[in-house]
Amino acid sequence: MSENHTHEKHAHGESKPADDHKTDDGHDHAHGGFLNKVLGGRAEVIFAVLAGVCLLVGWLGPKFSVISEQFGFGLLLAAYFFGGYFALREAIEKIVKGQFQIDFLMLVAASGAAILGEWAEGAFLLFLFSIGHALENYAMGRARNAVAALADLTPDEALVRRGDRTETVLIENLMVGDIVVVRSNERLPADGFVVKGSSAVNQAPITGESAPVDKVPVDSPEHAARNLDNLTAETRVFAGSINGSGSLDVQVTKLAGDTTLARVMTMVAEAQTRQSPTQSFTKKFERIFVPCVVLLAIVTSFSFLILDETASESFYRAMAVLVAASPCALAIATPSAILSGIARAARGGVLIKGGAPLEALGQLDAIAFDKTGTLTIGEPRLVEIAPYGDTTEAELLQVSAAVEMLSDHPLAQAVVRDVKERLGDLPVEATDFANIIGQGLSAKVDGKLVHIGKTALFDNVAGQPLPIDLRNSVEVMSQNGRTTMIVRSGDKYLGAIGLMDTPREDAKAVIAALRDVGLKRMMMISGDNQNVADAVAKEVGLDTAFGDLMPEDKVAKIAALKADGGVAMVGDGVNDAPAMANATVGIAMGAAGSDVALETADIALMADDLQTLPFAVGLSRQTSRIIRQNLWASLGIVALLIPATLFGLGIGPAVLIHEGSTLIVVFNALRLLAFKDIRGKLV
């Protein structure tokens, strides 16, 4: 088999642009020239079939007196041409570079058979080699096409609204700020935000989300255009996603070449060129192995000096050894699995930047999470209400919300939002608002002065001191990770409320699923206080939590965790970027909306969906298993065939076994394309 389709196309170390990836190396380079243009990309398959036809007729024809011996010999020569054409092209390219690899070994073996007068056997060798090569290329193409199909998701044209008229323009001519009209069931032509209309949009091609996402307009297009990083999932749309039944007006935020889909395509293409550790090992192994095979064949060709056989028989045995020792399946074992894994991940909304992080993730037993926005929803919620004395829960909430409504603090806005969800409209209003910096708020409600704030506030303002039992109750709330607010109206204490950035609904199930796929150590590293970190960690099922960490502290903690083995870091891709960069594998959440996340992480979970993580880890582990299976199978075949040919196994059976093992390896790798996504089954 051709080594260059694996080592040049999928296993070279440097990253190349997508176009170079398609044309510079491997199959696409060697097989994609003039002939493929003429024959519609099927040149290799056609040549392999022609080699088989010429071989069959040229071999059997003279035996049944259908054609003359001379004509039959001519057909065998034609079989040599068609069967060896592409292999010779690739071998010459390698020889020019000083590389003697698998194609070279096969050609030498076929030439040796011809020298011995075994033209039919040599033609049979080249036919099997070429048909196996073609089928292998077809199978590998399926994996590449699984990713390349994303390129067809964006429409060629867009309907642009300009003033009172609309006009159709090419996608590449769209400008930032243009308003595009997306009708029902159409694909979105660009990244942007909704300025008019509402609809459910299928974002599966970008984020892997199985359910459509409801989209609504932004409140202010001007403000949204100035604050793109703060767009919500309900207002942001992506090129290549599919609109539902409603019509949308979308303001373009990125040029065609800069859309999330375009960048994902580029990154996936680049990822295919980056070597995994196993690929690097295989490549180094072959550089040593191939010369040793050539040396063994040379020594075997002189075995007639010590064995009772002719020089031609020894030479034939040497050619058979060349065939037997050609590590065809080994060359394709890892790249086929890596490519299939990356392709399947991309289909599931997970961007994996190369074979190294794909393999590494499958081998880790530890994972660290950021808290805010990763394990939690990223915004505080009212989670505990503790009325004091004869105060009712409704009274406590009404007074609290009336005062907090006058504040623009995020905690105040959270209180107002959640109280309105519980009680509806507020019957009372507050006046004479004052902010007591660092301690709390004050305002008048129904003529009474109301104070809301920390314990320290009531130690410093005039009025009744904080009752001991209420103080103790607040202390317990704080220990459970709540941000607490004590409420006093006049001299009467109404009670306390507690807020917390609550865990995602599926966080606990996701942690359990990660344990099921083999992760043993899971922890949180957070900038939030230790009590909050402990509370969240306990609720979702983590082993431990580290709180009160600055960004540099997170880096140090990751370094310490790495000392005990590899560790993955899951964060939002921005403030967690240093920690992700220092982890064995950095994983970014919600990367579809974050340019920083796309650039920083080794693995990007495109949707803000924690359930994608067990899928990615499970896929990585399955990829590692398949790589091991492929390596053992390919090395086992070589280990069996070499002694078999030394003891008399012919060229034909040897190449037949080789080609069969190579296809088994490739199709085993392609099983990854059917890897099941467990999202939706975790909650």
Q: Active-site residue numbers? A: 370
Q: What is the largest CA-CA distance in the chain?
A: 119
Query: How far apart are the C-alpha atoms of 473 and 436, rounded to whole Å?
Result: 23
**CA dihedral for 263, 268, 273, 276, sign (positive or negative):** positive
Closest CA to 400 of 423, 377, 369: 423
529 close to 373: Cβ distance less than 8 angstroms: no
Q: Residue length, the chain?
A: 683
What's the token pair of residue 9?
A: 């196309």
624 close to 352: Cβ distance less than 8 angstroms: no
Query: How far apart are the C-alpha atoms of 574 and 372, rounded to whole Å?
Result: 12
**Residue listed under structure tokens 């001299």:** 491
Query: How far apart are the C-alpha atoms of 291 and 282, rounded to whole Å?
Result: 15
165 close to 143: Cβ distance less than 8 angstroms: no
Q: Rounded to 10 degrees, what is the CA torsion of 476, 480, 483, 487?
A: -30
Q: What DSSP string runs through 588-644? A: EESGGG-HHHHHH-SEEE-SS-TTHHHHHHHHHHHHHHHHHHHHHHHHHHHHHHHHH
Query: How far apart are the C-alpha atoms of 529 and 544, rounded to whole Å?
Result: 14
Q: Would you give the distance in Å from CA 446 to the centre of its chain?
A: 57
What's the token pair of residue 579?
A: 């920690």
- What is the 8-class DSSP label of residue 276? P
Residue 306 exposure: Cα atoms within 13 Å on the Cβ side:
5
Spell out a b/e string for 108-123, using b for 16 or more CB atoms within 10 Å of the CB, else e. bbbebbeeeebbbbbb
663 close to 128: Cβ distance less than 8 angstroms: no
Q: What is each CA distance from 394 to 398, 419, 424, 482, 491, in whole angstroms?
A: 6, 9, 11, 20, 19
Query: How far apart are the C-alpha atoms of 433 and 444, rounded to whole Å?
Result: 7
- What is the 8-class DSSP label of residue 240? T
Alpha helices in 486-576 (DSSP H): 507-516, 530-540, 551-562
Residue 317: enclosing H or E segment and its boundaries? helix 311-325
490 close to 518: Cβ distance less than 8 angstroms: no
541 close to 512: Cβ distance less than 8 angstroms: yes
